[in-house]
């Protein structure tokens, strides 16, 4: 069980959008044991969990059996089918305080869809405006919106209380999704930059001499800039570099001074490699199909693909070998080999320099014994 799913069991989902179906995945046995050990509330069985939630944070609901009191949904727990709503304002005395996060089951909620005007009752002339709640909701099939990164569907009320249609007449009232709150624009403080100062143009590049029309003009600009920061010897005539009319040298060296490891340049180089690889693949197939040598075109194409795959595998192997050498792999193995040879040489030298003192029960080799005698 992932950390995300454990957190989802403990916390409240305050987002009105469904970005995944994680709540429909059964919990492993180890996760259930962990929840039981931590004395956390266990989720409802998978078959009882709700897939498409039509009551989301931001909606207004009422609880069955509490009359027409409207409550705003604060969050939901999709693993336990619970709806959390904002607490009503606290009473004057502390003994009458309402819990901060009241919750009710999803099945006890009725979605508020607006106020409707009904005909006046018998004996009255004034029409009635009462709140209408959905007792049955249907929805369309979910579709994943790639640009938004979530699943979207539409919800409709087909049964309401009180009824908004005549007996036997079918209704289908579209229920819009709650709109997210618009973030407030912070007020301007003394430390903030005024809009006119932020929009002011403080640098205007000069295109009079850049880009140079020829190599001689570019060489003249480079030499004049270098002579302006480092005076040349007396034998070399100095070139005048006017800061007002000539562009800044950093502007000329934009490509050289820019970061070569930026994301844009990496992507540009990657696309260039992919394009070159596709072009080489196309040319390789064309060259192979040009000479069939008694093969059919299909057989030649299959063989060409195999040759290209083997060629790419060999190139990838050579590339990894080169990277391994550049990272110091070959030098590391060479150092290890030299160290091992040095250890073996020291052992041989130590054995050659070994001298035994005369003692009883010692037998010297024949050559050494004759030398000693």
Which DSSP string corresponds to 82-141?
EEEEPPPPP-SSGGGPPPSS-EEEGGGEEEEEEEEEEPPPTT--S-EEEEEEEEEEEEPP
Answer yes or no: are the C-beta atoms of 61 and 71 closer than 8 Å.
yes
What's the average model confidence in pLDDT over 348-355?
90
Percent of residues, the chain, with pLDDT higher than 70: 77
pLDDT of residue 246: 60
pLDDT-derived band at 362 (thresholds 50, 70, 90) equals confident
pLDDT of residue 40: 80
Minimum mean pLDDT range among 114-123, 187-196, 289-298: 114-123
Minimum mean pLDDT range among 21-25, 103-107, 365-369: 365-369
Beta bridge pairs of residue 60: 72
- Token readout for 170 is 């079918």
pLDDT of residue 271: 96
pLDDT-derived band at 324 (thresholds 50, 70, 90) equals very high
Sign of the C-alpha dihedral computed for residues 303, 306, 312 and 316 taken in this order:
negative
The count of residues in the chain is 373
Report whether pLDDT(92) > 50.
Answer: no
pLDDT of residue 183: 84
Beta bridge pairs of residue 219: none
More confident residue, 239 or 177: 177
pLDDT of residue 33: 85
Q: What is the pLDDT of residues 23-78, one digit of tens each?
A: 898 888 888 888 888 888 888 899 999 999 999 999 999 998 887 788 999 899 99
Percent of residues, the chain, with pLDDT higher than 90: 42
pLDDT of residue 317: 95
Report whether pLDDT(13) > 60.
Answer: yes
Averaged confidence pLDDT in the chain: 82
Minimum mean pLDDT range among 85-94, 214-223, 285-294: 85-94
pLDDT of residue 304: 94
Report whether pLDDT(245) > 50.
Answer: yes
Give the SS3 label for residue 6.
helix
pLDDT of residue 14: 87
Q: Give the pairing of strands 109-118 and 128-139.
A: antiparallel
Q: Which residues, at least 6 apart from 165, have a Cβ–Cβ distance to it below 8 Å?
A: 171
Minimum mean pLDDT range among 101-110, 160-169, 350-359: 160-169
pLDDT of residue 213: 63
Structure pTM? 0.50
pLDDT of residue 116: 86
What's the average model confidence in pLDDT over 243-268?
74
pLDDT of residue 38: 82
């Amino acid at each position: 069980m992932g950390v995300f799913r454990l957190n989802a069991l403990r916390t409240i989902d305050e987002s009105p959008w469904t970005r995944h179906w994680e709540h429909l995945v059964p919990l492993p046995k180890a996760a259930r044991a962990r929840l039981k050990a931590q004395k956390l509330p266990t989720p409802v069985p998978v078959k009882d969990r709700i897939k498409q939630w039509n009551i989301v944070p931001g909606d207004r609901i009422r609880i069955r059996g509490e009359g027409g009191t409207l409550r705003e949904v604060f969050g939901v727990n999709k693993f336990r089918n619970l709806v959390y709503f904002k607490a009503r304002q606290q009473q004057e005395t502390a003994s009458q305080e309402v819990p901060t996060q009241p919750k009710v089951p999803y099945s006890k909620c009725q979605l508020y869809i607006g106020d409707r005007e009904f005909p006046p009752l018998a004996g009255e002339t004034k029409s009635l405006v009462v709140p209408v709640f959905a007792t049955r909701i249907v929805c369309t099939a979910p579709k994943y919106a790639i640009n938004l990164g979530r699943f979207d569907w539409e919800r409709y009320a087909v049964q309401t209380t009180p009824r908004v249609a005549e007996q036997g007449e079918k209704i289908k009232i579209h229920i819009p999704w709650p709109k997210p709150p618009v973030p407030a624009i912070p007020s301007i403080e003394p430390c903030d930059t005024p809009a006119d100062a932020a929009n002011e143009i403080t640098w205007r590049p000069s295109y009079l001499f850049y880009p140079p029309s020829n190599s001689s003009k570019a060489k003249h600009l480079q030499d004049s800039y270098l002579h302006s920061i480092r005076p040349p010897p007396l034998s070399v005539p100095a070139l005048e570099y006017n800061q007002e009319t000539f562009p800044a040298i950093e502007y000329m060296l934009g490509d050289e001074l820019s970061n070569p490891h930026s994301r844009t340049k990496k992507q540009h180089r990657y696309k260039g490699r992919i394009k070159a690889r596709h072009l080489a693949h196309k040319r390789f197939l064309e060259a192979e199909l040009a000479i069939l040598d008694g093969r059919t075109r299909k057989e030649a194409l299959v063989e060409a693909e195999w040759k290209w795959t083997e060629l790419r595998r060999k190139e990838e192997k050579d590339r990894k070998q080169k990277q391994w050498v550049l990272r110091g792999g070959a030098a590391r193995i060479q150092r290890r080999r030299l160290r091992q040879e040095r250890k073996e040489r020291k052992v041989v030298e130590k054995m050659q320099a070994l001298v035994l003192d005369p003692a009883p029960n010692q037998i010297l080799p024949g050559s050494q014994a004759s030398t000693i005698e």
